[in-house]
Amino acid sequence: MRRTLALALLTMSTLLVAVLGGCASNSASAALAVGAGPAPESALLGHLYAAALRYYGTPAVVTETDGSLGVLDSGSVIVQPGFTGRFLTRLDPAATARADEQVYRDLVSALPEGVAAGDYTMSAQDKPALVVAEATATAWGGTDLSALRRNCAQARPGAVVGSSVPEAVGSCTLPKAVTFADDKSLFAALRAGKINAAWSTTADPAIPSDLTVLADKTALIRGENVVPLYRRNTLNERQVLALNEIAGVLDTGSLADMRRQVAEGKDPGAVADEFLQSNPLGH
């Protein structure tokens, strides 16, 4: 009798372990995959949208991808954050839209049938930007890109090697940028007068405070606003809401600050979690 009872208890224990193990496995497999490209900024965005999903109760994990739309087609991830202009350029290299809203509209029209776009961040962007010294801004007569157009022949741009920069700004076709190893050497060359304009981006935390970023008030450079793309018919209303609400709390200054923290060695997931704690969704 005792032996029979012991065997029964052992069998029940084994079944319980199997059931619990199966539940854990199912729970892990149910986590929604959010894509993040190899670049630190892409990893930050992946963690930010994953944190938003978790904020509304959806388990989510960040999966490293190449950042392309193909990862959504294959189903390896369900959400792939990125930037409107870069996505549009991949889908339609001949697209001419530059203003933020039109870039987003053209992107939505160009998306493959099985892919949808969430709300884009109207206040957060990271597009190419020209940085000049104060003396150059004074000589050119302004701190807007229209000043560059008026002084196009005098422009001597530089850029960090490997960065993607526009060949033209409006009607001003620029000479090929002199390349530098990193931001530090780029901005040092700008201060030394070896170049008189440095290509950076609007959310680059490395831009020194004593230099001037030329504003783009008339959309001479294509918009690059943060946007989440996702597989159609895979997310419920609450999950789509979670993605869309990032657009209401993220701005360029916050993006630059988070990029700075990641560049200083902080974990992107921790940075994203702290941002949402300070900027709660749904408010």
pLDDT tens digits for 105-125? 999 999 999 999 999 999 999
Whether the Cβ atoms of residue 226 and residue 100 lie closer than 8 Å to each other: no
Q: What is the pLDDT of residue 138?
A: 96
Which of 3.40.190.120, 3.90.420.10, 3.10.20.30, 3.40.109.10 would CATH assign to domain 128-214?
A: 3.40.190.120
Enumerate residue ranges in the chain where pLDDT < 50: 1-29
Q: Which CATH class is domain 32-124+225-278?
A: alpha beta
Q: Tell whether the torsion through CA atoms of 22, 26, 28 and 29 is positive or negative.
A: positive
Instruction: Say yes or no: do domains 32-124+225-278 and 128-214 share a fold.
Output: yes
Residue that has been written with the tokens 């224990």 in this structure: 13
Q: Tell whether the torsion through CA atoms of 263, 117, 28 and 73 is positive or negative.
A: negative
Phi, psi of 169 (to 5 degrees): -120, 105
Rounded Cα–Cα distance for residues 25 and 229 (Å) = 27
**pTM (2 decimals)?**
0.87
**158, two tokens:** 């530089």
List, for residues 212-232, the tens digit of each pLDDT value: 999 999 999 999 999 999 999
The ranges assigned to domains in the chain are 32-124+225-278, 128-214
